[in-house]
Structure 1
Amino acid sequence: MRKPDYPHADVEKWSSVDSYFSTLLAPADPVLDAALVANATAGLPAHDVSAMQGKLLALMARMIGARRVLEIGTLGAYSTIWFARALPASGTIVTVEANPNYAEIARANIDRAGLSNRVELRVGKALDVLPLLEAEAAGPFDLIFIDADKPNNPDYLRWALRLARPGTVIIGDNVVRGGAVADADSDDANVVGVRAFLDMIAADPRLDATAIQTVGEKGWDGFALAVVRDTAEGER
């Protein structure tokens, strides 16, 4: 479990609540559990969303009737599997992973889940892959999940808007960073990237957005959530 770097945290209590909720609402799943074991065995960083967060992402996809999802940052495909299961049989999730070793583990997890027909895994740096998706007319996507290296979040947002349509939902993960996001003087590249990402969202008239803090087994963090109102560029 990640140790908190902020005061008065009760991660043990938060985790016990997560465990209670997940037992009721997102019970143990052999496929998802196997993916986490495979990721840990391969030495992937433990950056996967929690079961409750995965269920939330899946419900969001279902709520908007998503048929095409774009995920920037696959890791071991734990969240990918949640999204793919939420899609209709004809739906597709395009997921982008820069690390070829991670992508190999992710592909095995996707195959084991029986979801290869719904998942298109692209291997390469997202800022190289996203222009290719635009050139291929792979969009628009109904939901775009940004969960990769935070310093590039502003560029990911620019590409998300190019690959979106009015009504597309854009979700950015890990935007609270243990409260560090509120520090305007931070020199942490991850915090700087997230703050620039949030500033861009706030200033863009094409987006209607909010952000929400979360606590649980993953510590203190949160999501930014935005709906695309219009894809035409303009000024506020």
Structure 2
Amino acid sequence: GCFDSYLIYHSFCYPLILILLCNCCNIFTLLMSSCLTATIYCPVKLFFTIDTSETIALQEPPPGSLVESIKEFMKMFAQKLEDEAYRGHIQITWAFGGLHFSQKHVVFSQFTNRVSFIKSLNQIKYLGKGTYIDCALRNMTQQMTHHYSEIKPVLFSVVVTDGHVTGSPCSGIKMAAEKARDQGIHIFSVAASSNIDELGMKEIASSPVELYRDNYIVMEIVDGRPRMSEETIDRIIKVMLPPVSPTLPAVCSSLST
């Protein structure tokens, strides 16, 4: 009768419903696990923009020695950055490039891997003459944005200079730096030595200036002697990389918190 039908329904349908629910839960768990462990590709381009004008080249005897120190600084910087899987599923890959400048600019490395970039540093010879920082920033922007891969990279530039200019034929530092930032380039302003024009250094830096200028320096004076600032390199890298980075886009940093 009706009671028997009720018992049959419950004895057959409830276990079936439970089985279906369990299967759905298992499928959902697998899908969530797959989503959470999917690799997020995060290409990063790092471009060095290096002042080799007369005011830099003649700061330390013999002429050009500060330029050689800057080359060692870039080498140490690049050696600290490796392609890596962050937290197992954010794949960070690095590409390095650079130019040096005075009144003109010379691209010493197109974007390449770390080993090739370090080899290219040997090509840098100081240019001397005057300093057009605005033109260097414009050329840096062109180099960094004229070609993208399928995944848009995160863009960083480390600009090493003293902030002094002898002319501004490319609309001035402030406008050139703003145009670079409009293209998504994050600019760190690094003093070659303690002999600087701080206003010029701050105009180069991205916002917030306290993060992208922050007294970064290549050669500091310690106990009366010049010494390369490895601390500057480490502090800049901490800004660039998650989890502290405010600069990596959401696609790269969403799972790093």
TM-score, normalised relative to structure 1: 0.38
TM-score, normalised relative to structure 2: 0.35
Which one has a bigger Cα radius of gyration? 2
